[in-house]
Amino acid sequence: MINTDICIIGAGPVGLFAVFEAGLLKMRCHLIDVLPQVGGQLSEIYPHKPIYDIPGYPSITAQELIDKQLEQIKPFDPTFTLGERVEHITKQDDGSFIVETNDNTVVHTQVIVIAGGLGCFEPRKPEIPNLHLFEGKGVDYMVKDPAKYRDKKIVIAGGGDSALDWTFHLADIAQQVTLIHRSDSFRGAPDSAEKVFKLAQQGKINLLLSHNLTNIHGNGYLSHVETTNKEKEVIATDADYFIPLYGLTPKLGPIADWGLNIDKNAIEVNTLDYSTNIERIYAIGDINTYPGKLKLILCGYHEAALMCQSAFKFVYPDQKLTFKYTTVNGINTF
């Protein structure tokens, strides 16, 4: 049995930052993730995607961010169980929990922190004929390695941040990038939309607004994508790769059966400390919900910090949380 102070379910950026905040308060962490590597969706889905809203980094790739966070938490020596899914939690008489995975790993912990991002997820797929015939043969639902698309003709579909960011990023890599969106405005960040509009004005990308996807074609491998415009005209766009970026469909998996208050596949929390309706269980990051919730990594970091302040009382019930700063070798610590 693994003994720890905090068991964090999810080893993405928010879960990793919770390790740092817990470490500052002398609390040990063990992380469990169903993915075979640390990094969550950032490492699994878009490791090379640039991120622009991390303080101190005008631009940093998803994997670089994870690598920096691993370096940051190394002094606190967290432990990991990867490639396993948490199946059961059992509350003990003293308030602590026994956590069990599908591979029979058992963890005894004082506090559980759910930082599982979107939980189990799968890409949302456009409803067009023959889509499944080209999966792995020109249709990709995520960009793992941008170099794959060098000097290729790429068609991206979507109107959110992911579609905008990848359009901007692949414009300098691919031979041709076409962005298709069914509306004439975007849901993504205004700054990202402005960058994409400028690329279109400069002739660096093709922008098809108010276009609806109707079909994709090819002879064993994708050759072109069909859309219709407002006038119902059929437009055929040559494509080596078609990348529909419509987001992910979240599924909580076993978490949904733990007695937590759930609203639309997200866990309801108290914004005082991001605690759930079950004492000693917290939820931080994209997996939680509350009025005014923003699904940003930065917001998850904030939630992790407040959560750790609250969790301290369960790990050290006889101690009061105080801070005494000293300077050792020129470094401020406590």
Annotated binding site for FAD: 33, 41, 46, 86, 121, 286, 327
Per-residue DSSP letter, 187: S
The DSSP-derived string for 36-59 is SSTTHHHHHT-TT-EE--BTTBSS
User: How many angstroms separate the CA atoms of 174 and 171, rounded?
Assistant: 6
d(CA 60, CA 146): 15
Counting every residue, how long is the chain? Answer: 334
Inter-residue contact 226 to 178 (CB < 8 Å) = no
HSE (CB half, 13 Å, CA atoms) of 75? 8
Contact, 10 vs 40, CB < 8 A?
yes
Name residue 122's beta-bridge partners: 249
| Residue 220 to residue 224: CA distance in whole angstroms | 12
**Which residues define the annotated binding site?**
33, 41, 46, 86, 121, 286, 327
Number of helical (H) and strand (E) elements in the chain, helices listed first: 6, 23
For CA atoms 286, 289, 293, 299, the dihedral sign is negative
- d(CA 198, CA 21) in angstroms, rounded, equals 41
Distance of CA 136 to the CA centre of its chain: 23
